[in-house]
Structure 1
Amino acid sequence: MDYHVAKNGSDQATGTIDDPFLTINKAASLAIPGDTITVHEGVYREWVKPKYKGLSDQRRITYQAAEGESVVIKGSEEIKDWQLVEGNVWKVVIPNEFFGDFNPYVETVFGDWLLTIEEPRHLGDVYLNGMSFYEVSAYEKLLNPEVKTETNDHWTRQVVPIHNPEQTKYVWYTEVDQDNTTIYANFHGADPNEELVEINVRRSCFYPEETGIDYITVRGFEMAHAATPWSPPTADQPGLIGANWSKGWIIEDNIIHDAKCSAISIGKEKSTGHHYRTIRRDKPGYQYQLESVFDAERKGWSKETIGSHIIRNNTIYDCGQNGIVGHLGCVFSEIYDNHIYNIALKREFYGHEIAGIKLHAAIDVQIHNNRIHDCSLGLWLDWQTQGTRINQNIFYQNNRDLFVEVSHGPYLVDNNIFGSSYALDNIAQGGAYVNNLFAGKMVHRKELDRSTQYHLPHSTKVAGFALVYGGDDRFYNNIYIGKEGLEGVGTAHYKGYPSSLEKYIEVVHEIHADHAAFNRVDQPVYINRNAYLNGADPYENELENWVDHNFDPKFEIIDKGEEVYLSCELPEEFNQMTGEIQSTATLPRVRIVDAQFDQPDGSDVVVEEDLLGEIRTDNSPIGPLNRLTAGKNYIKIWG
């Protein structure tokens, strides 16, 4: 059955193209497996709540925008009847019943792992012609608005500027009593009754209320203005759009922006824990997160019931916490061809769960061909990164590009460009980094007081626990480019680590102890045929490499909007810098998990495609692009 929705329709209609429904939810209340809902041009201010699930990949329920038509789903409402108070400050008084059982101007950003919030921030927001305002905590601050950029030197390492400094003068404040919600805003000379002014009203734009609503496709919409809550891995993780603990969603070809916290959610649900660290305060969040994994497993968390989502070809921007978030529910998914930017730069709140993409338990997740830039952190893979592959992505102008934390592998990072000044935080083990370009510093650290789970290969079944001893990493065919004043570029931080498993075993067994011996000895690393330029430093036992501390490649990522270019110069000998094509056969197995690098289906992996999908040969250069050559390079890498 094909249902149609249009702004000139009626929910008493039949839902045909000639007699369409008025709301998407009316069609959602009827659609069954195999049905398609086509939505026509216009702005739909509703929270779409799919009622029925699809039954298989062949019997989906599809929600799509009509071809060539602009269809917008908003969690906001347009507000008129503003009253001038003084200067540029206006107010509007809204009866509380307008919001129903969810008032974003009462609900605050709250929960586990939330760190640098100086005062409560609400889930509401105010938008003037699409531009979001900043919340202030007192009416007096509306008259002389000044919004500072928050920094946390320990966690973020560098200042992240507000995306648009002009926004600092657009601020709002709220007061809520028993009957009314009053919103004050400084419109800086604009008349809110003449312009488009909207406020957050709904938590989500497209999100089922029940779990287990499988095999849904959402295609071609613009979605914006959702009052989404803080979404850590120890709580329910709703997004502006999300699968709510289901299987087999496809979210594609959408424009998604202005989620208060997270845009797309493929995460956990409430029954396995919900902000217990913050509410109960009796255990660390780490402990509650451990428990949530076992709780989920007892409740049926498996490949047969959860995950296997596809998120592709979306543009995601201007969100307060994440572009894509997920714990447990993200397993076996594929995320590709997305453009993600301006995530967590507004800095009204901050915490440990912020990134363009932030996933926990990314088992067999494939993340490729994405463009991620101008984010507080580009990609953060935290806990149980296993069977994961990160390849053919472009990272630049992020506070940090990639963070892999307390995971044991195997995970593969290949043919990416890490173009920010802070390229990699590696607090994990069991990784393979092949044919990448790193133009920023790299931090490597052990984690000997947090033991985290690892799994049977290609499964959610827990196989054991381990600390992060440091090492057990592989670096082949990468290019490292240093910069004046920037330390830590290259692989020199593995100084003293053994270069083979045999040497490691020999040293461990010279110590007459059991687990204590393994805690005291660095794991082996496998590093060969990398290039180190402009001050980047190599691992001391690398057998073959190319080092030129004085050569400056003048590396630059040039963003032209729809197109992105790599500009750099390479030394004359670069054409002789070739490396073996890496594969399951050549990459040493991961020690703790005792597993090999392979595809999600268990077949061999071969790292033969470069960043642009061109096939390598034995004579191809190292780094992420076959087209790189000695001398000047100017290569289109996106668009």
Structure 2
Amino acid sequence: MHHRSSRPLTRAAGRRLLGAAVAALALTIGAVPQLATPAAAAGRAIHVAKNGNDSGPGTAAQPYLTINRAAQEALPADTVIVHAGLYRETVKPARGGSDEANRITYTNAGDGEVVIKGSEEVNGWTRASGNVWRVTLPSSFFGAYNPFAARQPNGGGGDFFPVYTAGDVYLDELAYRQKGTLAEVQSGPETWYAEVSGGNTTIQANFGSADPNARLAEVNVRRQVFAPDAWGLGYVTVRGFTVKHAANIYSDFPSSPTRSQAGAISVNGGLRWIIENNIVVNARTIGIDIGLGNDEWAGNRPGNTRTHFHNTGLYGSHIVRNNYIARSGQSGIAGVFSWNSDLLYNRIEDTNYRNEFSGAETAPIKVHYMNEGLIKGNYIRNSQGGNSAGIWTDWGNQNVRVTGNIVINAPWGYYAEAVFGPILVDNNVFIGNHDIRTLDATGIVFANNLFVDNGNVNIDGGGREAYYFQPGTMNESTATTSTQRFHWYNNLVQGSTLPNNATGKTHVKEGNVSNAVSNVRYTATNTQLQLTFDLNTAGISGLTPVTRARVGTIPLAGESIAADVTTDYFGGAINAGNVMAGPFAGARNGANSFTLWPPAGQTVPNPPAPPAGETNLSLGARALASYQDGTLTADKAIDGNATSRWSSDHSNDNSAWIQVDLGSSFTVSRAVLKWEAAYARAYKVQVSDNATQWQDAYSTTTATGGTETVPVNRTARYVRMQGVTPNTAWGYSLYEFELYGQPAGGVTGPTVYGSADYQGTAATLAVGNYDLAQLQAAGIANDTISSLRVPSGYTVTGYADAGFAGTAWTFAADTPNLVATGNNDAISSLRVTATGGGTGTTLRSRANNLYVTAGSAPLIANAGTVGTAQRFDVVDLGGGNVALRAKANGMYVCAENSGAAALVANRASAGPWETFQRITNANGTVSLRATINNKYVTAPGGGAQPLIASSDTVGTAEQFDLATA
């Protein structure tokens, strides 16, 4: 199916949408099992639109101009309907609803995106020197709160993070990086430095080649975006907004009222909020907070108590679901004293992505005292920080269930700290996290999880004084967690070892299966997560379901786990007589493939289109490294997947390098290096026209890891990272090595048009991969391409679905009307490949003397003449290894299913399945041996059947003539 993009910002007022809004609200409430679902009362519909007036009545015909104006008027049972547009304000509801039937609901009108920003646009920049621009803002610009003067707290005792403030600078929605000196800004693009003095704030930013006065330059000014000043409001729904640029501070530790959690969206100690279907991006610290703000030691000192945590009828029981949360500096969702709350089906990614905050409160999901809570179905990936976890249950958290979540690429995939339990962690997928950890914890039950490449399972701490509670309450007692007991049932484990008993630590381990999983691959796009793996079920038998009775009563807590584990990750029933290890009841022996995201029956907003700007030239290019560690190959650093990586570990070579071949000369403006923990303290970015003679474009001896953006400003075909000094003993490792720029002499390539006969909206596209978000960033809306021009030397492959999926069409010449070819207004993603003027390498099989043909079908030797479909690029991977890239579609040839299936050209980059050893035979022919299974590629059936890597020896069917044609 097509993935329709959201409608653009438009002005629309006075539409009769209350009925739809109320109906949607009723459906939403009805989907929540623990809440009563009385019919919503017939309240007032208050409208807000960009053509409104705050002095008007707030009707559909005469709407208010600001959301906050409506928030001061709304009464229980009212619905605030916000029409499409950009609103720069903080929404501060004056009151909440009175009960479930009389909520106050804030909702998108459905006529386009509603964006609420904590920033203001800034013009009047003047060039200071080079690419650095300066602007001076008076105190009146900020009002009572100046984020550029607000330092970021770090730990107790009044400490602060060096350098960082609550301020942020954005150009075309890209958040720049704060630096501690002007000199660092002068040498680094996409950075800024600020000084506050004499009532003025002077900001200097390196905008590269951009003129900020001609682009959208913004700075954040508001600490929060949707947050009441009033404490403890209840029954508020926030639905369907895009919330950006909160200038909030780090809450570390949340024991001080001055360091309270304050999210871009905040319940401020409220009761039974529903926060759903929102997009929350670029919060300086916390995206959404759902607690009492700070903990008992500060919030409940005499004279300071606002809501005592014993009074669970006054706070908590929130639902946070189906939100997209990205690039929060501290947490996507945080809650200290977030009693009985449900965090459901949220997608949270790139937390602490600038690697600025490594304090004890950094995590995509971090909750304290969320007793009776549920963390279910969330998709979490890519968080950073030396002291951070994907999901962190800290203090309290009795009778909590963590189920059906995906956690990829976090320092700790799951972390339980200072808890007695019970906490049930079941049916989750943990992939590629550094560790799984507990500290001073007990009563954790791990059941039917998939653990793949998660480093160590660390059971740390000898115990500390912590709380346990009377079941179903927040009435606490204290004891020391020195006697620790953990349960491990029916988990599927690869690449880690479950812990053994130790002094003071007992592990009940039953039904766990190790080393039965292989060839694990996951493909993450903007809209989908696909997981494939091979499973050997030979040792999986006799497993029994995990039940409350089996676990028994957790000591001191006086209760067992929250539920029996009767369903799997997808909600399908677990067969008690034939229990499968891991989270997938339907897993079978051999190859398995599961779509983990989006969750069935849920609607979660897709990530917004990336900021407009130069193309990432690395996508679709070729990568080569001096050394690559196992499957951590060079292509992983240019695949656009922030969770795969290249590594030089075990090379013992401080001079290890990785290079990108762009295919032709490009003017490269900058490089973005996204480091794993093994980063280079000293390195160079070098350029070359021939991959032999190199020139330094950038050099540093003081790199700090994380994501680094460095200037290049050179024209070259080859760019490489040349290591000098690693920061750890594990060499160098990059998640992504992104290069930005444009073809030398300007953008050249095919042009796509929004109307037939080369009319309408047009965009010229350089060689590369253009998913839906990239097409939108280039100005091409989804399903709007009606004609295209394809110059000689290029091929365009269009796809019916985003993510380069669905029906594919290849264009090698101008096409004035796609109606005639049956694909008008049907393209959601496309690839542009250079065909090298029509030349390439051909493979002619000795089995039948016919040329090998590539395309959407498996490779087969069936052509008597040579055309585009019979030409390949032979990519030298080093060490005698090559990859084949088909001219027909620009895709690499893959030995599918670890070589067990036919070869097909369907991969965007070259990895182990796309790597072949090139062997020259005595008669001058060439044989190809797939490295994934060490089998030779053969043309079976006398060449009449598709090519497959299945032969142990070389005969006629395994020999090919290679030639340039």
Q: TM-score range by the shorter chain?
A: 0.7 to 0.9
CA contact (8 A) 2:118 2:220 kept: yes
2:310 is aligned with 1:310: no
- Equivalent-residue separation in structure 1 for 2:335 and 2:303 (angstroms): 17
1:609 Cα deviation from its structure 2 partner: 1.3
C-alpha displacement of 1:270: 5.8
Q: Kindly state the Cα deviation for residue 56 of structure 1 after the two structures are TM-superposed.
A: 1.1
8 Å CA contact retained: 2:451, 2:492 = yes
Alignment-derived partner of residue 465 in structure 1: 479
Closer/same/farther in 2, CA of residues 293 and 474 from structure 1, 3 Å limit: farther
What secondary structure, in the 3-state scheme, does the structure 1 residue paired with 2:140 have? helix
Aligned 1:196-275 pairs, distance under 5 A: 196-232=216-252, 233-235=254-256, 236-269=260-293
Where does residue 413 of structure 1 map in the other structure? 425
Match of 2:184 in 1: 141
* Residue 453 (structure 1) aligns with: 467
1:402 to 414, 421, 434: 414
Give the letter aligned to residue 63 of structure 2. Answer: P
C-alpha separation in 2, matches of 1:111 and 1:331: 26
Q: 1:585-624 alignment to 2 at 5 Å?
A: 585-598=549-562, 605-618=563-576, 619-624=578-583
Contact 1:419–1:557 (CA<8 Å) still a contact in 2? Answer: no
Shift in alpha-carbon separation, 1:524–1:182, aligned structure 2, 3 A: closer
1:416 CA drift (Å): 0.5
When residues 220 and 298 of structure 1 are mapped into structure 2, their CA distance, relative to the original with a 3 A threshold, is closer
Are the counterparts in 2 of residues 391 and 414 from structure 1 also a CA contact under 8 Å?
Answer: yes
Deviations, residues 236-272 of structure 1 (Å, cap 9, x unaligned): 1111011001111000000001011101011233695
Task: Tell which has more relative contact order, 1 or 2 (C-alpha 8 A, sep 6+).
Answer: 1
1:324 aligned residue (333, 345, 350): 333
Distance 2:417 2:305 in 1: 21
Q: Is the 8 A contact 2:307 2:314 kept in 1?
A: no
1:59 to 102, 112, 126: 102
Residues 301, 75 of structure 1: alpha-carbon distance in 2 compared, 3 angstrom cutoff? farther
Q: CA deviation at 1:58?
A: 1.4
The question of whether the paired residues in 1 share the 8 Å contact of 2:501 and 2:507 is answered with no
Shift of 1:446: 4.4
Q: How many residues align?
A: 544
The equivalent of 1:390 in structure 2 is: 402
Partner Cα separation in structure 1 for residue 532 and residue 425 of structure 2: 22
* Counterpart residue number, 1:512: none
The answer to whether 1:350 aligns with 2:358 is: yes
Q: Give how far 1:312 is off.
A: 0.2
> What amino acid does structure 2 have at the position aligned with 1:338?
N
Q: Aligned in 2, Cα 1:293/1:586: closer, same or farther, shift over 3 Å?
A: farther
> Is residue 2:506 matched to residue 1:490?
no
Residues 115, 351 of structure 1: 8 Å contact kept: no
Paired residues for 1:120-135 under 5 Å: 120-135=163-178
Give the 3 Å change call, closer, same or farther, for CA 113–263 of structure 1 in structure 2. farther
Deviation at 1:321, TM superposition (A): 0.5
- Measured after TM superposition, the shift of residue 449 of structure 1 is 5.5
Deviation at 1:563, TM superposition (A): 1.0
User: Which secondary structure does the structure 2 equivalent of 1:473 belong to?
Assistant: strand
Question: Which amino acid is the alignment partner of residue 631 of structure 1?
Answer: G
State the alpha-carbon separation in 2 of the partners of residues 432 and 78 from structure 1. Answer: 50
Segments of structure 2 that go 5 or more residues without pairing to the other structure are: 1-43, 599-965
2:369 corresponding residue in structure 1: 361
- Alignment partner, residue 607 of structure 2: none
My pick for the range that moved more, 203-212 or 577-586, is 577-586
Aligned to 1:563: 528
Q: Deviations over 1:215-250 (max 9, x none)?
A: 110000000000011113313111101100111100
Corresponding residue SS for 1:183: strand
Q: Distance in 2 between matches of 1:66 and 1:583?
A: 45
1:544 maps to none
Inter-CA distance 292–588: structure 2 relative to 1 (3 Å threshold): farther
Q: In the alignment, is residue 42 of structure 1 matched against residue 93 of structure 2?
A: no
Which amino acid in 1 is paired with 2:571?
G
CA drift at 1:86? 1.0
Letter in 1 for 2:420: H
Whole-Å separation in 2 of the counterparts to 1:116 and 1:529: 47
Which residue of structure 2 lines up, in the alignment, with residue 372 of structure 1?
380
Match of 1:438, as an amino acid?
A: F
SS at match of 1:44: strand
Any idea what the Cα deviations from partners look like across 1:378-435, whole Å, max 9, x if unmatched? 1111111211000011111222211111111011011011112434102211011111
CA distance in 1, matches of 2:304, 2:63: 44
Structure 1 residue 630 and structure 2 residue 599: aligned?
A: no
d(CA) in 1 for partners of 2:582, 2:278: 32
CA distance in 2, matches of 1:421, 1:459: 34
Q: Hey, what's the Cα distance between the residues in 1 that align with 2:330 and 2:340? A: 23
What TM-score does the superposition give when structure 2 sets the normalisation length? 0.55
Amino acid at match of 1:490: T
Q: Secondary structure at the match of 2:94?
A: coil
Task: Give the aligned partner of residue 161 of structure 1.
Answer: none
Q: SS in structure 1 opposite 2:64?
A: coil
Structure 1 residue matching 2:393: 3-state secondary structure = strand
Superimposed CA distance per residue, residues 523-572 of structure 1 (whole angstroms, 9 cap, x where no aligned partner): 54322111011xxxxxxxxxxxxxxxxx6612232213211111111115
- String of CA shifts for 1:554-607, please: whole Å, max 9, x gaps: 223221321111111111515x43521222222121123232223xxxxxx221
TM-score (normalizing by structure 1): 0.82
Deviates more, 1:51-60 or 1:41-50: 51-60
Give % identity.
33
Map 1:168-179; keep pairs closer than 5 Å.
169-179=189-199
2:504 to 522, 539, 552: 522
| 1:141-185 deviation line (CA, Å, top 9, x unaligned) | 22112xxxxxxxxxxxxxxxxxxxxxxx21111111223111111
1:436 aligns with 2:449: yes
Q: Which whole-Å CA distance do the structure 1 matches of 2:306 and 2:109 have between them?
A: 40
Deviates more, 1:315-324 or 1:446-455: 446-455
Instruction: Provide, for residues 46-65 of structure 1, a one-character-per-residue CA deviation record: whole Å limited to 9, x for no partner.
Output: 00000011111211100001
Deviation at 1:443, TM superposition (A): 3.0
| Residues 328-357 of structure 1, C-alpha deviations (whole Å, 9 max, x = no match) | 1x1100001100000012122321110000
| Structure 1 pair 495–292 and aligned structure 2 pair: CA distance change class (3 A) | farther
Question: C-alpha separation between the residues in 1 aligned to 2:427 and 2:263?
Answer: 30
State the match for 1:31 in structure 2: 74
Quickly say closer, same or farther: Cα 1:273–1:261, change in 2 above 3 A: farther
CA deviation vs aligned residue, 1:439-470 (integer Å, no higher than 9, x gap)? 12343334335211111112111033222433
Select the structure that is richer in strand: 2
Mapped to 2, the partners of 1:63 and 1:583 lie a distance apart of: 41
2:88 touches 2:118 (CA, 8 Å); kept in 1? yes
Whether contact under 8 Å (1:480, 1:490) holds in the other structure is yes
| Structure 2: distance between partners of 1:18 and 1:295 | 45
Q: Secondary structure at the match of 2:101?
A: coil
Greater Cα shift, 399-408 or 309-318: 399-408
- The 1:258–1:468 alpha-carbon spacing in structure 2 relative to 1, beyond 3 Å, is farther
**Offset, 1:5:** 0.1
